[in-house]
Structure 1
């Protein structure tokens, strides 16, 4: 079997005719296995390779292979700034790398991550700045402004949350924005507005209201099976277990998701994504106990399984917040974020935990799984494409001056 070995080399030793002898399917198969940072550099090899790597078909092939093999995974971490770590390096102590180049970096506002899908991240740092950003290619798309169409906004406290995901029906990326207005002081009135942004159309439009009271936490909608999920309540004053509402990105309609058969409803509730499944985290604050449920068959009530059940006297000490982030590659451990300060690998069979130490962070406010992809944001919108392309061409020039070698 032929293999590809890459090393730095003088460009005179690189012969285009030798590369051209590779069959197209072999070239594609080899390149699909590489991380994005290498693929961006290899566009400088030849016009043929550049056209291949920049094609939407290759981006989809590379994305699908990364998802199937759980390759090119990383974590986006947030304190006052954004950082990244390689998912495969999360064993013991790892160094976080600050993302100095992200498009919303500003000293006046902290950046919020609202979700990740196919390597694209939704970011905001003020009411007027929302972007979709691919940290692997460093390309981004700034979303157009959209006014809040609610009367007498000045009378209310305003809160905004977002959800982000991919609509496979229309092959489009969408952002859902929910603006909530709550009365001040003794005013218990409540109003809200829901809008959706389409990358293809590069525009916002109104969508229907939630079927129940949307007292939403400041967390992004959880993307599972083409729908965004939030916890809502039937009445404003209810604070215990609520309902799970899904917003389908395809038909842009709402539905309720069946939940497990809980033995006790007196818990704080969050929805999360674990692997490809919807997950519910139940925190029983009166007994310091946490249950993590996973819906193995989406929409099937009987498929809920209690995956984790822990308390402060067992594996996790001094817990006030628990969030599952993702499975290990062998599926035997789950990475947990604890109390917004630390990460822990939880062994599902042995009921044991081991700490992951991240250097370079002041605190761990947010953790988001992200896969490295070539997915483009060229459909519509206002971006910085010209400047991005100029920088990319400069990088390619530097790469060619250093040289590399292909060995078959």
Structure 2
């Protein structure tokens, strides 16, 4: 077929084909394999998918939700008296993909095979840093994993700088520099203790194109980044963002957003809404909603001023304090919100309540529905991550990806 088509016509046809089909098409010929695996084609295919996603093209079929959960395994054992008892404390970390459409969450799921077991952080599961352009970035105590389940490619990135004799707390960010089409992982390393970390942190950067870590000479920020949940960072406007606050020894407590410009590799500070700046008892999730930076402060069931807790805020003009706008409150009668997991394409907010159950909240109608995921015969309802995901060919051409 390619003998009768100009290369640009062939590219224009193949760039519209889903990832799963393209992987099969690589077997057609060496030419097709070389074309589909080339960086230029991978970027063209990705950019088209991003354009369709941004413009709400339902035909693109690219909008997915990545769900990470615990699967509980029952087994039978004998007690000291010879009685057989059922034990349900063995759990496996599992991942599945769901279509982000009107059928969610009852749409058919795709079970994913994650090839790693956690090496120690939180004992038995990875922290998900971010899902960007088909790459899921995960981390445990000693390494980072870049995983694209669409193409079954994974890279293991051991941390180049180890601190075996010092107490370490780290925060991470993962994103794509759209100027260079390169991916970077940023690691902020705090020494000291969890309650009293030392500032500034050491700043380390991994760059995918050169497959190496480095420390930057610029001084780290004089703020402590916090992690209330796995949703601890957000990537928007070309920068990583973390919720942070002033060190306790400064006396005056202040919340803010710490930003790191991925291209220029410099830190910036963004203000929070004034009503949230001095609050010490909120579980704040930072996220991206419709391309803009957003905040969701939750009170975890404590009695608080409802004017600011359990609500969704958006920064309408990036970097401008006065542009913070409260979009709506999340009012789920009789249920305390532990944290917000995700915003869906159909306008719902997926939250985890204090009982460990998933609930969908529709702000325009103020209706709620209990979500029961069809992910297996038995599973824990304690959900650890729900994030948007888009299939892509990224990592297909990376030599160090297995």
Q: State whether TM-score is above 0.5.
A: yes
Tell me which of the two structures has the higher relative contact order, counting C-alpha pairs closer than 8 angstroms and 6 or more residues apart: 1
Question: What SS does the aligned partner of 1:105 have?
Answer: coil
Question: What SS does the aligned partner of 2:46 have?
Answer: helix
Q: What residue number does 1:376 align with?
A: 395
- Considering only aligned residues, what root-mean-square deviation do their CA atoms show, in Å? 3.1
Figure out how many residues of one structure are paired with residues of the other and give that number: 352
Q: Give the Cα–Cα distance (whole angstroms) in 1 for the partners of residues 396 and 254 of structure 2.
A: 38
Q: Say whether the 8 Å CA contact 1:275–1:326 is kept in structure 2.
A: no
In structure 2, relative to structure 1, the CA distance for the partners of 1:164 and 1:88 (3 Å cut) is same
Q: Say whether the 8 Å CA contact 2:341–2:386 is kept in structure 1.
A: no
Q: Say whether the 8 Å CA contact 1:119–1:373 is kept in structure 2.
A: yes
Q: Does 1:227 align with 2:239?
A: yes
Shift in Å, 1:364? 1.0
Q: Give the Cα–Cα distance (whole angstroms) in 2 for the partners of residues 278 and 65 of structure 1.
A: 23
Q: Does 1:77 align with 2:67?
A: yes
Question: What SS does the aligned partner of 1:79 have?
Answer: strand
Shift in Å, 1:21? 4.2
Where do residues 111-130 of structure 1 align in structure 2 (5 Å cutoff)?
A: 111-125=126-140, 127-130=141-144
Gaps of 5+ in 1: 1-15, 385-408
Q: What residue number does 2:45 align with?
A: 62
Shift in Å, 1:265? 5.0
Q: Say whether the 8 Å CA contact 2:289–2:343 is kept in structure 1.
A: yes
Gaps of 5+ in 2: 54-60, 71-92
Q: What residue number does 1:358 align with?
A: 373
Q: Say whether the 8 Å CA contact 2:137–2:174 is kept in structure 1.
A: yes
Q: Does 1:160 align with 2:175?
A: no
| Of 368-377 and 355-364, the range deviating more from structure 2 | 355-364
Q: Say whether the 8 Å CA contact 2:119–2:142 is kept in structure 1.
A: no
Measured against aligned partners, the alpha-carbon deviations of 1:302-360 in whole angstroms (never above 9, x if no partner) come to 433322212343xxx412323252341xxx51342323844444334323233432122
Q: Give the Cα–Cα distance (whole angstroms) in 2 for the partners of residues 23 and 91 of structure 1.
A: 41
In structure 2, relative to structure 1, the CA distance for the partners of 1:161 and 1:234 (3 Å cut) is closer
Measured against aligned partners, the alpha-carbon deviations of 1:131-185 in whole angstroms (never above 9, x if no partner) come to 21111111122214322359x51xx4x323321111234432111112233349x
In structure 2, relative to structure 1, the CA distance for the partners of 1:176 and 1:339 (3 Å cut) is farther
Question: What SS does the aligned partner of 1:321 have?
Answer: strand
Where do residues 5-404 of structure 1 align in structure 2 (5 Å cutoff)?
A: 16=1, 20-22=3-5, 24-70=7-53, 71-80=61-70, 81-88=93-100, 90-94=103-107, 96-100=109-113, 102-105=114-117, 109-125=124-140, 127-148=141-162, 152-153=165-166, 156=167, 158-183=168-193, 188=196, 190=198, 192-207=201-216, 208-217=218-227, 219=230, 220-236=232-248, 242-262=255-275, 266=279, 268=282, 269-284=284-299, 285-287=302-304, 289-313=309-333, 317-323=334-340, 325-328=342-345, 333-339=347-353, 341-360=356-375, 361-362=379-380, 363-376=382-395, 378=397, 382-384=400-402
Q: Say whether the 8 Å CA contact 2:46–2:392 is kept in structure 1.
A: yes
Alignment TM-score, normalising by the size of structure 1 = 0.75
Considering fraction of residues, name the structure with more helix: 1
Q: Say whether the 8 Å CA contact 2:37–2:396 is kept in structure 1.
A: no
Q: Say whether the 8 Å CA contact 1:148–1:179 is kept in structure 2.
A: no
Shift in Å, 1:130? 1.5
Q: Say whether the 8 Å CA contact 2:169–2:189 is kept in structure 1.
A: yes
